[in-house]
Amino acid sequence: MKSNENSWVLITGASSGFGEEFARQYAAQGKSLVLVARRLSKLEALSAQLRERFGVDVIVEQVDLSSIPAIIELHERLSERNIVIDVLINNAGHGLQGPFLDQPLDHSLTMIDLDIASLTALTRLFAADMRARKRGHILMVASLLSFQGVKNFAVYSAAKAYVLRFSDALHRELKNDGVVVTALCPGMSDTGFAESAKQRITPALKRVMMQPQPVVRAGIRALQAGRMSVVPGFGNKAITVLTWATPRRFHQSLMAQVMGV
């Protein structure tokens, strides 16, 4: 990535999990940060830590990313301040475990709003700026579930499949414009997602669960290398290979056992 005095990294869902770890790793590189999430107190605490430890500039933006007007306003505010977003980390997302018909409809639609519509809006706004500058980097946080529909994760796995395919297409569309688009496809990780998704943690799941640090490190390296996508972890890579090499019934049954559904 080319250095620039007015070059910023924007991270959505930055108050916890992968988003928080992205903030820490980019701050360690000396990058200026725009941290976006709903939980202002956590953002402010994190920004204070990063400023003190790494001496970086940090802007905190409390935004409800399920609201498209709020996303447009965020883009306008940053543009008015001449904040140049060179790296966009599309990390914010939401998931719930459970049978589709047992989930309230508004919960499923909110998941679609955040995981698909908001990510698309953020990408459209900031990618246009990057293309105009002939420089930029976008990381889409997808999932290992992007590669198949998983029982009791119907909407979430479908939404993450959109993220992966959207990212793949944009990688090809924008590469000649100086904009790199990379999809990060993590498996289960110790980020608090399982608890918020009300997911049962099985022994098999514990064995394959990764810590956020190596996952985020793999994502940043893949983005810097201009790769189309990356699946961190040997076990997760093996599952991906099985997805393509085995009948659907087999690998869906395997994933259901791993996920405890």
Q: What angle do CA 87, 42, 28 make, to 5 degrees?
A: 45
DSSP 11-73: EESTTSHHHHHHHHHHHHTT-EEEEEES-HHHHHHHHHHHHHHH---EEEEE--TT-HHHHHH
Residues 6+ apart with CB under 8 A from 199: 97, 193, 259, 260
Active site residue 162: no
User: Edge to edge, what strands does the sheet with 58-62 contain?
Assistant: 58-62, 32-37, 7-12, 84-90, 136-141, 179-184, 229-230
Sequence letter at residue 126: F
User: Is the separation of the CB atoms in 211 and 190 below 8 Å?
Assistant: yes
Please state, as a whole number, how many other Cβ atoms lie within 10 Å of the Cβ of residue 138: 25
Residue among 156, 184, 186, 231 flagged as catalytic: 156
* Catalytic residue numbers, as ranges: 156
